[in-house]
Amino acid sequence: MTEKIKFAVVGQGHIGKRHAEMIRRDERAELVALCDVLPKETLQLKDSPEPFFSSIDDLLHSSLDIDVVNICTPNGYHADYAIKALDTHRHVVIEKPVALTKNDAEIILNKSQEVSRDVFCVMQNRYSPPSVWLKQMVDEKVLGDIYLVQLNCFWNRDDRYYRPDDWHGDARLDGGTLFTQFSHFIDIMYWLFGDITNIKGNFHDFNHQLLTDFEDSGVVLFDFVKGGMGVLNYSTAIWDNNFESSITIIGSKGTVKVAGQYMNEVVYCHVKDYDMPELNPCNPPNDYGPYKGSAQNHHYVIGNVVDTLTGNDTITTSLREGLKIVEIIERIYKVRDLNWKKQR
């Protein structure tokens, strides 16, 4: 049997624990260490058998044999920790977003090239059957010319999520609603249609004034560089539960819509000379108790890392693509900040 790929996971919140579990379940992978600034007991990890470190520096300079470092920390630490891991010649998996600025993402890219190590970006929605289907539809021009794309992201994030003792909602560590909540949906849009330009927008903070440092809702208008126009409507001010995340695509040969709480259902498909195939079912959403996240596709991410490092596949979401998503959000937020100043 080929030697297992050895992983260490930095950050043991909900997503970090998910990464760790997916590594344990992959027979080609081995989880060799966990790391978090909080004690194991606080994190409910006292029964975890893997070596535990309270700092990434201690982890990286230990005697452990580590091939890949998964970074599942607050967003504001992603770039710094990725650089540290690359400096010790480890491959890196970074949870969304790669960084909070294009400049930081470029530093990661340059460092990865310098040390010849791969960086994998977690954009788990690309593995969803409806997303794979949409990609094929667009690439094969089944919809013809793209006229209009509408992306709706309407989720609930209230005081059950934005707690005073947590990093969520902090401008420096979180970065904003589009970075933490919806960057993987912007990734799907970019994956399908490419870059955007002529960005305009309107942004508000309706019911998170006491919970976050940034907006909870926005309407963003733009053009696609390749042709067609788009609109992104988003809000985390939805009462009690997630409402939907959806994408509607209007083309010269037809219209499709994928919707559901986490963009998991094809609800409309009317396309010239086309019969829609039956898609595989989606995985259930990540369940965080009082709130829900996107589909549980992290096992595909770990599988892609193992397959890539053993020469059997290529990276699903490249660092350059992850960088592009950061840049697009940064450009949207430049428009927001201009409007924000006017509002205040």
CATH classification at residue 141: 3.30.360.10
Q: How many CB atoms lie within 10 A of CB 65?
A: 9
What is d(CA 20, CA 6) in angstroms, rounded to the nearest whole number?
A: 11
205/144 same-domain check: yes
What is d(CA 200, CA 16) in angstroms, rounded to the nearest whole number?
A: 35
In a domain, 151, yes or no: yes
* Dihedral pair phi/psi, residue 75, rounded to 5°: -50, -40
For 278-295, how does the pLDDT look when each residue is reduced to its tens digit (9 = 90+)? Answer: 998 876 655 545 545 545
What dihedral do alpha carbons 200, 206, 212, 213 form, nearest 10°? 50
Residue 178: closest CA among 122, 249, 96, 106: 96
Give me the pLDDT at residue 31, please: 98
Range of the domain at 22: 5-121+299-316
Give me the pLDDT at residue 291, please: 43
For residue 316 the two structure tokens come to: 């699903």
The answer, yes or no, to whether residue 180 has pLDDT greater than 50, is yes
Domains identified in the chain, total number: 2
CA count, 13 A, side-chain hemisphere, 24 = 12
143/101 same-domain check: no
In a domain, 28, yes or no: yes
For 228-244, how does the pLDDT look when each residue is reduced to its tens digit (9 = 90+)? Answer: 999 999 999 999 999 99
The answer, yes or no, to whether residue 93 has pLDDT greater than 90, is yes
What is d(CA 211, CA 101) in angstroms, rounded to the nearest whole number?
A: 23
147/248 same-domain check: yes
267/304 same-domain check: no
What dihedral do alpha carbons 267, 272, 274, 278 form, nearest 10°? 0
